[in-house]
Structure 1
Amino acid sequence: MQIKVIAIDDEPEALENLKILLDEQDDYILIDSCTNGKTAIEAIIEQKPDLVFLDIQMPEISGFDVISAVRPYFAPVYVFITAYDQYAIHAFEVNAIDYLLKPFDDERFYAALHKAKKQIELKTNEDLNFKLDALLQKTNANKKAMYIKRIPVKLANRVYFLEIDKVIYLKAENQYINVFLNNGTQHLIRDTLNRLESELNPEIFFRCHRSNIVNINEIKQIEPFFSGDYIMTLKNGDKLKLSKSRKEGLKKLMNW
């Protein structure tokens, strides 16, 4: 009997890599793949997989949010996938839950796969559920503590810090992020929006577009644009696009 698998990651390349690795194993069948938390929740509840590879850092609905939403209905075995996140890794290790740290090699993947298969065969769901509950409780209790309060900026041999509450929005520019502050200044940092987004408070900072993260307290006006998109005018006069696919997330966050 094949083990049914669902893979969840907001990066298409990562999903393709998981598919290739799973295709090499006769005991597993990939029944679905999802690129966001909303479709992931629906897929897990409807298709009831034995095993889920779950990316933790996803926009709008995180991997932890997916688990919380699914828990009342179904409890598969999870292997978590994460970029470097010291807090998350510590939480996984404390609760003896397996994870894959990006980028991972084939050997590490197959080790996680073997461990998950043993859990499925031994039907240790009760123990696993206890560990998941402990992980979620610890995550929720420490959630605010893990959000950064300052962004470091390197300049020559010096490092200075930008206060997070002064950030209006962040814009991806190739391999850099342009940080716009409420004093009118801009600062380039070498980072990615995906990584930085995981360290920002999602109650304040929202991924309105694949290239932008906005401080919702700086939004002055929202108006319709083309093809279901919207344009947001900020308090400083700058305008940002709100993607059609991300509109519902902002509406919920702002009670719009």
Structure 2
Amino acid sequence: MRKNYNIELSIEEHLSEDNIIIRCQSPNTGAEIMNQLQPLNKNESSMVIKQDDSYIIVKKTDIIFAEVYQKELTVYTTEDEHKTSSTLASLYEDLPKQTFVQVSKSSLINIHHIKKVEPSFSGNLLAHLSNGMKVSISRRYVTLLKEALGI
């Protein structure tokens, strides 16, 4: 980054948690800044999700479920859902393997947000999540989920 930027830091001790907002005119500038910040965020408690022309910072523990449908990745969190053009593989790479398990070719799940698991048809399982969603676990991935849950 060789461009000069107007950088401002505001310390607001009344906030309940740190909230970092980056405002810029150009999506290219935003991407450059986020690329510079990404190593700081690696394997930490939060991650960056690119959504359209903005960047959303989410806590990894808040991610409940993620799925790819028609080449669009949707990440469901405790607060919202975020659609991105990123891949499921790249998201999975940035998440802790002891908490997140792939449950089908196109989805992964945070085991800490599973409320109940029950049998479904043809050897599949059905997981009931903390946000009310029901997710089918493909029989190919049932063993991985059972290992992660310790059953």
TM interval, shorter chain, is: 0.5 to 0.7
After superposition, give the CA deviation of every residue in 1:160-196 in whole Å (9 maximum; x if it has no partner): 312211111101022221011112x111111111222
Which residue, out of 197, 208, 219, partners 2:114? 219
Cα drift, residue 146 of structure 1? 5.3
Which structure's relative contact order is higher, taking Cα pairs within 8 Å and 6+ residues apart? 2
Q: Could you say which residue in structure 1 is the equivalent of 2:30?
A: none
Question: Aligned-pair RMSD on alpha carbons?
Answer: 1.8
- Note closer, same or farther for the CA distance 1:237–1:160 as it changes in structure 2 (3 Å cut): closer
Q: How does 1:64-83 map to 2 (within 5 A)?
A: none
- TM-score in terms of structure 1 length: 0.40
Letter in 2 for 1:242: I
Task: Assess if the C-alpha contact under 8 Å between 2:51 and 2:83 holds in 1.
Answer: no
Unaligned runs of 5+ in 2: 1-40
Q: How does 1:97-176 map to 2 (within 5 A)?
A: 147=43, 149-156=46-53, 158-176=54-72
Cα drift, residue 245 of structure 1? 1.3
- Note closer, same or farther for the CA distance 1:196–1:160 as it changes in structure 2 (3 Å cut): closer
Matched, 1:195 2:90: yes
Task: Assess if the C-alpha contact under 8 Å between 1:153 and 1:162 holds in 2.
Answer: no
- Note closer, same or farther for the CA distance 1:243–1:154 as it changes in structure 2 (3 Å cut): closer
Cα drift, residue 240 of structure 1? 0.3
Question: How far apart, in 2, do the equivalents of 1:239 and 1:151 lie?
Answer: 26
Question: How far apart, in 2, do the equivalents of 1:152 and 1:227 lie?
Answer: 35
Question: How far apart, in 2, do the equivalents of 1:181 and 1:170 lie?
Answer: 9
Cα drift, residue 216 of structure 1? 0.4
* Aligned residue-pair number: 110
Which residue, out of 138, 142, 150, partners 1:243? 138
Q: Percent sequence identity over matched residues?
A: 23
- Note closer, same or farther for the CA distance 1:225–1:180 as it changes in structure 2 (3 Å cut): same
- TM-score in terms of structure 2 length: 0.66
Task: Assess if the C-alpha contact under 8 Å between 1:220 and 1:235 holds in 2.
Answer: yes
Question: How far apart, in 1, do the equivalents of 2:144 and 2:55 lie?
Answer: 35
SS at match of 1:200: coil
- Give the greater-gyration-radius structure (CA): 1
Task: Assess if the C-alpha contact under 8 Å between 1:150 and 1:161 holds in 2.
Answer: yes
Return the structure number with greater helix share.
1
Question: How far apart, in 2, do the equivalents of 1:206 and 1:168 lie?
Answer: 11
Task: Assess if the C-alpha contact under 8 Å between 1:151 and 1:164 holds in 2.
Answer: no
Runs of 4+ aligned residues of structure 1 deviating over 2 Å after TM superposition are 145-149, 151-156
- Note closer, same or farther for the CA distance 1:242–1:199 as it changes in structure 2 (3 Å cut): same
Question: How far apart, in 2, do the equivalents of 1:215 and 1:177 lie?
Answer: 16
Q: Could you say which residue in structure 2 is the equivalent of 1:252?
A: 147
Question: How far apart, in 2, do the equivalents of 1:154 and 1:180 lie?
Answer: 13
Which residue, out of 129, 135, 139, partners 1:234? 129
SS at match of 2:145: helix
